Amino acid sequence: KVMENLNNLKLFNQRVYGECYLSFYDYVNI
């Protein structure tokens, strides 16, 4: 159960980081 939660947290962090990275990339490209 704990490992499952860690995996979910990792996926969540990757998604948030990816969105932030894309937003930052778009901002730099302007």
Q: Label residues 8-22 b or e (16+ Cβ within 10 Å = b).
A: eeeeeeeeeeeeeee
Structure tokens at 13: 């962090």
Q: Give the pLDDT score at 29.
A: 78
What is the C-alpha to C-alpha distance for residues 30 and 26, in angstroms, rounded to an integer?
7
Q: What is the DSSP string of the chain?
A: -HHHHHHHHHHHHHHHHHHHHHHHHHHHH-
In tens, the pLDDT along 1-30 reads 788 988 888 988 888 888 878 888 888 876
Query: What is the reported pTM?
Result: 0.47
Q: Give the pLDDT score at 23.
A: 86
Q: Give the pLDDT score at 30.
A: 60
